[in-house]
Structure 1
Amino acid sequence: MEISKRESEEKPSKKETKIQIFKTLFRNNIRQYGMIIALAFIIILFQILTNGILLKPLNITNIILQNSYILILAIGMLLVIITGNIDLSVGSVAAFIGAVSAILMIRMNISVTAAVLICLIIGGLIGAWQGFWIAYVKIPAFIVTLGGMLIFRGLTMVTLKGMSIAPFPYEFRKISSGFIPDFLGTGNYHIVTIVIGIILSIFYVLWELKERKAQIKYNFDVIPKEFLIAKLIALLIVINVFCFILAGYEGIPNILIVLFILIAIYSFVTQNTVAGRHIYAIGGNEKAAKLSGIKTKQTILWVYVNMGILAALSGLIFAARLNAATPKAGTGFELDAIAAVYIGGASASGGIGTVIGAIVGGLVMGVMNNGMSLIGLGIDWQQAIKGLVLLLAVAFDIFTKSKSAKE
C-alpha cells in the first residue's frame, strides 16, 4: 500500500506531462517562436507610435508590395545559408535581369510571357555558373558571389548605358501592382478576399489536424489539445483579420498569391522531400553527408541555380513595381535577404532554418522599415537599428546553441 502510494507521488501528473511537452517543443523551436513574438511586439509598438496608421489597409498593402521581392530572395537565400554558404550577388543579378527584361519588352517588343521565361532561364544559368565554381572548383562562396556582385552590377550599367528604360507593358506591371478581381461584389469591401480568408482557415485547420494525427501515429511528441486549440484560434483570427483588412482596400495583391505559392512549395520541399533533407544534411556536416551517399556537389549546384531563378524573379517584380529598369536597382537587396534569413532563425553555421522563419524575419525587417519611416526616423538611424537587430539575432542563435550543448 505504501509502495503504490509512493509510486503515485513520484509519477508525474497529466498536467505536468503536458507542460513538460510544451516546454520541450518551445525550446526546440525557440528561434522561430521568438521571432513570431518579436514580430507581434514590433507591430503593436509601431501601431501605437504611428497612431494606428501602420495597420490601415493601404499601409498593409504597401508593406506587402514594398517587401515582396526581398521575401522572394529570402526564400532562395535560406537554402543557400542552410548549406553553409552565402550569396552576395543576388541584388546585382536582380538589377541585371531587370535591365534584360526592359531590353526584351521595351526595346525588342517581345511578349511579356516570352520575356519573363527568358529572364528566368538567364537567372538559372547565372546561378549554375556561380554554383559550378563553388561546388566543383571549391572556391569559397563568399569570393565567387562577391565577384558575381561586381560582374553583374557592371553588366547592368553596360546594358542600360547608365540610363533608365521605361515604361513596361501594362500586363507586366500587373504582376507587382495588380490585385485579384472581385467577381462576388462591388461594395466597400472586397468579398473575394474575405472568402479566401475563410477557405484558408478551413484548409489550415484540416492540415494541422492531419499533421497531428501523423505525429501521434509515429509516436512523436505533440502539443496538448488545449494548446493546439489556442494556437488554432489565434492563427485563425490572424488570417481572417488580415484578409478583412486587405478587403478594405483593393483586396489581395497578385504578388501575395505568388508569394503564397512559393512559400507552400518551398516549405513542402524542405520538410517533406529527400532533396530537402539532403540540403539540411550538407549544412549539418558536408563530409558526413558525402560519405552517406549524398551527391553534395550536385545539390549545392542546384541550390545556386534555384537562387539565380528566384533572384531573376525578384528583379522582374522590382522592375514591374518601379515601372522602369535602372542601373541602381537591387542595391542592398542581398543584405536585406541575408538579414531576413538570420533574423528568422537560420544558423550562421548552416543546417538550421525554415521557410516560414525566413518570411517572418523578412516581415520583421519590413515592418520596422515601414514603421520607422512613418514616425519620421532618418535613414541613418534606420540602418543602425537594423544592423543592431541582425547582430542580436545571431548572438541569440549562438547563445541558445551553447546552452543546449551544455544541457
Structure 2
Amino acid sequence: MTSTLPKKDPSSDERPGAGAAALHSGTSNLRRLLAGNVRQSGIVIAFVAIVALFAVLTGGVSLSPGNITNIVLQYSYILVLAIGMVIVIVGGHIDLSVGSVVALTGAVAAVLVIGGGLPWWVGVVAAVGVGVLVGVWHGFWVAYVGIPAFIVTLAGMLLFRGLTLQVLGNISLSPFPAGYQQIAGGFLNGLIGGQGYDAFTVLIGALGVAGYAVLAYRSRVAKVLDLQQVESFPLFGCRIALVGLVVMAFAWQLASSRGLPVVLVVLSVLVLAYGLLTRRTVFGRHVYALGGNAAAARLSGVKVKAVTFWIFVNMGFLAGVAGVIYSARSNGAQPAAGNMFELDAIAAAFIGGAAVTGGVGTVVGALVGGLIMAVMSNGMQLMGVDQSVQSVVKGLVLLFAVAFDVWNKRRARGDA
C-alpha cells in the first residue's frame, strides 16, 4: 500500500525567507515606481514652486493677466527651440548654432519682405526653408562625414552669424507688414463673446484639459494591460485635477487680458505633434535607441546615419520657425538677433530632465524647463534684479538640474 503525500502548490514558495524576499521585491518595485514618478513629476513640482515664489516676491504681479500674456509672447521662440534641442540631446548630440540660425532666417525674411516688397508669407516660407537647408548642412557633416556635432554646430554658429551680417549688410531692417507681425503679436479673441473676458480662450482651455484627461486615461489603461506599474487611481485623479486647475487658471488669465495668442496656438500644435512623434512613431523610438546606445541601435537595425541626419534637419526646421516668431516679435531683423538663444534652449532641455549622455528626455519636460527659465527671468526683471545676478541664478539652476540627473542615475545603479 502506497501513501500519497499532498502535493506542494507550485505557485507557493515555502523556502525560508521567501516572504521576506517577496516583501523586499515589492519594496524595490515601489521604490522604482516612486523614483520614476519623482523624475517625471519633480520638474512640474519645481515649476509650481517657482511660480508661487515669484508670485509672493512680486506681490502677485507675475500672475497678472497682462504679465502672463507677455511671458507667452516673449519666450515662445525659446520654447520652440527647446523642442528641437531636446530631440537633438536625446539622440546624443548638441547644437550650438541655433541662435545664429534664428538670426539668419529672420534676416532672409526681412530682406524679401521689407527690402523686396514681397508678400509676408513668402518671407515665412523662405525663412523656414533656409532653416531646413541649414539642418541638411549640419546633418550631412555629422551623420555622413562623421564630424562630432559639437564641432559642426560650433562652426555653424560662426558661419551663419557671418552670413547674417552679409545678408543684412550690417544694418537692421524694419518694420514688417501687419500680417507678418500677427504671427507673434496677434490674438484670437471675440469669436464667441464673453463679458469682461474672452470666452473662446476659456473654451480652448477646457477642451485642452478634456483631451489631456482622455489621453492620460488611455495611457494608464494601456500600461495596466501590459502589466506595467502605474500610480494608484486616487493619485491619478489628483494629478488630472491639478493639471486641469493649472491649465484653466492659465486660460482664464489669458482670457482676462487680450485673449488667445496666435503664437500659443502655433506652439501648442508643435508640442502635440512632437509629443506624438517622439512617443508613438518608429523614428521617435529610434532616436531614443540611438542616444541610449548607438552601437546596440546599429546592431538592432536602426539606420543610425539617417536618423542622425533627420534629427538635425528637424532642428533646422524649428530654428527657422523660431526665427520667424522672433523677427515678427521684434518687428525687424538685426545682425545681433538670437544671441545666446542656443544656451537658453540647451538649459531648458536639461532642466526639463534630458540626460547629458542622451537617451532620456521628453518634449513636455523641455517645455516645462523652458517655462521655468522664462518665469525666473520675468520674475527677476519685475523685481529689478541686475542682469549679472540673473545670469548667476540661471547658471546655478542649470548646474543643479544636471547634478540632480547625475545623482538620480547613481542612485538607480545602487538599487539595481
TM-score range, shorter chain: over 0.9
Question: Shift of the alpha carbon at 1:25?
Answer: 2.9
Distance (whole Å) between structure 1 residues aligned to residue 412 and residue 62 of structure 2: 37
Paired residue for 1:114, among 115, 122, 134?
122
Going from structure 1 to structure 2, the CA distance change for 1:19 and 1:166 (only over 3 Å counts) comes to farther
What's the counterpart of residue 30 of structure 1? 38
Runs of 4+ in 1 over 6 A off after TM superposition: 16-22
- Paired residue type of 1:58: G
Matched, 1:47 2:55: yes
- 1:222-265: CA deviations, max 9, x gaps? 11111111111111111111111111101111111111110101
SS at match of 2:140: helix
What's the counterpart of residue 136 of structure 2? 128
Correspondence list, 1:56-135, <5 A = 56-135=64-143
What's the counterpart of residue 391 of structure 1? 399
- 1:45-92: CA deviations, max 9, x gaps? 110000010000000011111110000000000111111110000000
Going from structure 1 to structure 2, the CA distance change for 1:347 and 1:72 (only over 3 Å counts) comes to same
8 Å contact from structure 1 (residues 281, 289) kept in 2: yes
- Paired residue type of 1:240: M
Question: Shift of the alpha carbon at 1:291?
Answer: 1.2
Question: Shift of the alpha carbon at 1:24?
Answer: 3.3
- Paired residue type of 1:337: A
Matched, 1:175 2:152: no
Distance (whole Å) between structure 2 residues aligned to residue 50 and residue 107 of structure 1: 43
Distance (whole Å) between structure 2 residues aligned to residue 19 and residue 243 of structure 1: 41
What's the counterpart of residue 217 of structure 2? 209
Sequence identity (%): 46
Relative to the length of structure 2, the TM-score reads: 0.92
Question: Shift of the alpha carbon at 1:197?
Answer: 1.7
- 1:105-139: CA deviations, max 9, x gaps? 11112222232122212111111101111111111
Going from structure 1 to structure 2, the CA distance change for 1:374 and 1:22 (only over 3 Å counts) comes to farther
What's the counterpart of residue 350 of structure 1? 358
Correspondence list, 1:268-283, <5 A = 268-283=276-291
Relative to the length of structure 1, the TM-score reads: 0.94
- Output the aligned Cα RMSD: 2.0
Question: Shift of the alpha carbon at 1:196?
Answer: 1.3
Q: Which has the larger radius of gyration?
A: 2
What's the counterpart of residue 333 of structure 1? 341
8 Å contact from structure 1 (residues 193, 247) kept in 2: yes
Going from structure 1 to structure 2, the CA distance change for 1:83 and 1:121 (only over 3 Å counts) comes to same
What's the counterpart of residue 198 of structure 2? 190
SS at match of 1:54: helix
Question: Shift of the alpha carbon at 1:350?
Answer: 0.4
Paired residue for 1:163, among 166, 171, 185?
171
8 Å contact from structure 2 (residues 120, 180) kept in 1: yes
Paired residue for 2:159, among 151, 155, 169?
151
- 1:357-377: CA deviations, max 9, x gaps? 000100110000001111110
Paired residue for 1:226, among 229, 234, 238?
234
- Paired residue type of 1:141: A
Matched, 1:401 2:409: yes
Higher deviation after alignment, 215-224 or 339-348 = 215-224
Question: Shift of the alpha carbon at 1:32?
Answer: 3.1
Distance (whole Å) between structure 2 residues aligned to residue 17 and residue 188 of structure 1: 57
> Could you list the runs of 5+ residues in structure 1 that have no partner in the other structure?
none
Distance (whole Å) between structure 2 residues aligned to residue 29 and residue 102 of structure 1: 46
8 Å contact from structure 1 (residues 26, 33) kept in 2: no
Matched, 1:307 2:315: yes
Distance (whole Å) between structure 1 residues aligned to residue 150 and residue 211 of structure 2: 41
Distance (whole Å) between structure 1 residues aligned to residue 160 and residue 387 of structure 2: 26
Correspondence list, 1:367-386, <5 A = 367-386=375-394
SS at match of 2:188: coil
Paired residue for 2:299, among 266, 275, 291?
291
